Amino acid sequence: MRRLTQAWLNVQRNRRRSLMSVSIIAIAVFALLSAGGFGLYTYQSLAEASARESGHISVTMPGYFDSEEDYPLQNGIADSGALIKSLLSHQQVKAVQPRVEFSGLASNGEKSAIFIGQGVQPNEFRQKGPFLDVVEGKLLDSYSPDEAPQVVLGKDLARNLKMQIGDWLTLLSTTSEGALNAYDFVVSGIVSTGVPEMDKRLLYIDLNAAQALLDSQRVSVVSMYFYDYQDVGPMLHTLAAPGAQQTPSLEYTPWWERAVFYDAVRNLYNRIFGVMGAVMALVVFVALFNTLSMSVTERTREIGTLAAMGTSPAEQLRGFVYEALVMALIGCVLGIIANGALSAGLLVADIEMPPPPGRTDGYALQVYFSPMLALWVTISIAVICAGASAIAALKGVRKPITEALIYV
Amino acid sequence: MLQLNSINKSYRLGQLEQQALFDVSLDVAEAELVGLCGPSGSGKSTLLNICGLLDQQFDGQVFFSGEQVTGAQQAMRLRRSQLGFVFQRFNLVPVMSAFENVEYPLQLNRIAAPQRKQRVNELLEAVGMLEHAGKRPDRLSGGQQQRIALARAMVLKPRLVIADEPTASLDSQTAHQVVSLMKQLSHQHGTSIVVATHDDRMSSHCDRIIRLEDGRVVSDKEALCVA
């Protein structure tokens, strides 16, 4: 405690210089935490979006995502009902959604366009939450063979085919037997995914309608959703355990293996933040080295006096390291407080970021406050400051005592 | 107690080598107050540094309490436990209080806190500075700072104290008090003192005066030193 007190008093010897160093540390910590907090927010948002899109775990026949089918649902799951029942028996599982993925031509009678379709259960929209922006109309109702089947169109596909709510649209696709099949659907809703390329091609129809169109009872993929996404890893082990294998054997793919955009953004941000962190570390190192070098030079005679009394170089170095740690601690606390204020301020301010490349919708700017990140940044800054101070002090404590004592 | 045998010391100044001490030998007995006198450049400070085990770059032998001093680690250990230092400019640590400055050598030697406190208070009382124990050096006069420096030098009851012009920065009255204190503490603890001085007030208190000129001992006797 006394050493810390003396370090604090030494820090105050040249207040302006120490204040400058502490300010640089605080700014560096603030910048690192803010950038990191923004990264964490982005990662979490993208992770949630990816997991919501594909499900936390996608259950398919082996090789479904790696190989092209010769005909629709060739690699589909035949008895999806039993599988869904089995998967729902796990208490961590919140919902299981079967899906048929298909493609074909959509026509309004005068004009046709290629589509990428998804056959889903109508409750999937409710279960996944607000992942689509409903531009017009509504999402799918429950399918009834007695009523006209409904279709929800991406907004650019609807505009291309000049579709309005209530209009009829013919979907043409190849059945699982290789024949052509067509059904008429009534447009119930027009949506935007926020990705223009998807909005040009995407449509949703009911799962049963999709199976009827493709003339198959199979589904392409069964998506599992969990209450807590931390359960994904353990559940993967459980499902892949030898005794738990389904017949026929199935493939379980976690969301992150299909989250290409998430991976790309994360890799990019990690590199950017890595470079930024290295630059900040260098700035802090130089600032502390400069401050401590001046301090060591000014205190050369004091160093000589202490050495004359038998203080070892290591003990003298420790004193300077304590000083650097005091400055690092103060700077980190200030930086963390500023970051916390920014995080809280952004929650209130509701600042909108422009849409990322390839997207049409912006998103709220938020910076997460992560205690773990703050701890790591503090430790890193402390190590950098300790290193800078030790190197700066080395020159002073290595000076011969007789020279140090007459230093003016 | 301290024995120097045939000490030769030279400094290199660029291409030139300057001899600072020529074959200097001396013995310092227990509780002896030895004054080193001589004009500037006579080698006083060089000899004082060697006596204080601050400089190991010389030819010759140094024995401390019969033990030959041969390395920096050994010298550091001896300085820490057996030597005290008093400097012309006091050299107190400015961020430490008077108490903490005096306590520092005890801390270095890992003396327990209660004993430290008792010993520091004894010394502060002996030098008449107990009431100023909590003050930092910048709140003390030159004479008060030198008393604290003296207490710091004596707190471990060292076998040898090295004093470099301890009265040079003090007025006559204060210098007299400091010299008297040094002598008193030296006799109390059986501590030997080697003091470099130009000051007659200081040298008049010495048991023995060694006069140096051009790096050589020209006299070694009880005599008034006039620099």
ipTM of the complex: 0.91
Contact A120, A148 (CB under 8 A): no
Count, in order, helices (H) and strands (E) of chain A.
Answer: 13, 12
Chain A residues with CB-CB distance to B52 below 8 A: 308
SS3 at position B11? strand
- Cβ within 8 Å, pair B94-A13: yes
Which residue, A215, A249, A283, sits at the end of a domain? A249
Q: In this structure, is residue A55 part of a structural domain?
A: no
Q: In this structure, is residue A254 part of a structural domain?
A: no
- Cβ within 8 Å, pair B91-A302: yes
Tens of pLDDT, residue by residue, chain B (227 residues): 899 999 999 988 888 888 889 999 999 988 888 999 888 888 888 999 999 999 988 999 999 988 899 989 999 999 999 999 998 888 999 989 999 999 999 999 999 999 999 999 998 998 889 999 999 999 999 889 998 999 999 999 999 999 988 888 778 887 887 888 888 878 888 899 998 887 777 777 888 899 999 899 998 876 554 43
Contact residues, A window 306-325, toward B, CB-based 8 Å cutoff: 306-312, 315
Residue ranges of chain B whose CB lies within 8 Å of a chain A CB: 49, 52, 54-55, 76-81, 83, 85, 87, 91, 93-96, 100, 104-105, 108, 152
Q: In this structure, is residue A57 part of a structural domain?
A: no
Alpha carbon of residue B104 to chain centroid: 17
Question: What angle, 0 to 180 degrees and rounded to 10, lies between the N-to-C axes of helices B142-154 and B98-108?
Answer: 20
CB count, 10 Å around CB of B193? 27
SS3 at position A146? coil
Q: Domain total for chain A? A: 2
Residues A80 and A229 in one domain: yes
Q: In this structure, is residue A340 part of a structural domain?
A: yes
Tell me the domain boundaries of chain B. 2-221
- A301 pLDDT above the threshold of 50: yes
Which residue, A186, A217, A249, sits at the end of a domain? A249
Contact A76, A219 (CB under 8 A): yes
CA distance A301 to chain B (A): 8
Interface test with A, best of B51, B69, B90, B93 (most A CBs within 10 A): B93
Angstrom distance (rounded) from CA A292 to CA A300? 12
DSSP string, B46-66: HHHHHHTT----SEEEEEETT
Residues A74 and A194 in one domain: yes
Give the CA angle between residues B48, B53, B59 to the nearest 5°. 85
**B193 CB contacts (<8 Å, ≥6 apart)?**
B32, B33, B34, B160, B161, B162, B163, B182, B186
Minimum Cα–Cα distance from A313: chain B residue? B76
Nearest to B96 among A6, A307, A310 (CB): A6
Contact A313, A390 (CB under 8 A): no
Residues A91 and A154 in one domain: yes
Q: In this structure, is residue A174 part of a structural domain?
A: yes
Q: Domain range for residue A35? A: 2-49+262-405
Angstrom distance (rounded) from CA B194 to CA B86? 10
Q: What is the pLDDT of residues A82-100, one digit of tens each?
A: 889 988 888 889 899 999 9
Q: What pLDDT score does A275 carry?
A: 92
Residues A140 and A183 in one domain: yes
Structure tokens of A13? 């010897």
Residues A184 and A229 in one domain: yes
> For chain A, first and last CA: distance in Å?
31
Give mean pLDDT, residues A221-246: 82
Q: In this structure, is residue A256 part of a structural domain?
A: no
Q: In this structure, is residue A244 part of a structural domain?
A: yes
- Cβ within 8 Å, pair A405-B52: no
Residues A314 and A293 in one domain: yes
Residues A270 and A199 in one domain: no
Interface test with B, best of A1, A295, A305 (most B CBs within 10 A): A305
- A145 pLDDT above the threshold of 80: no
Q: In this structure, is residue A368 part of a structural domain?
A: yes
Residues A133 and A95 in one domain: yes
Angstrom distance (rounded) from CA B187 to CA A189? 106
- Closest by CA to A369, choosing from A48, A46, A30, is A30
Residues A220 and A111 in one domain: yes
CATH of B2-221, one of 3.20.20.70, 3.40.30.10, 3.30.9.10, 3.40.50.300: 3.40.50.300
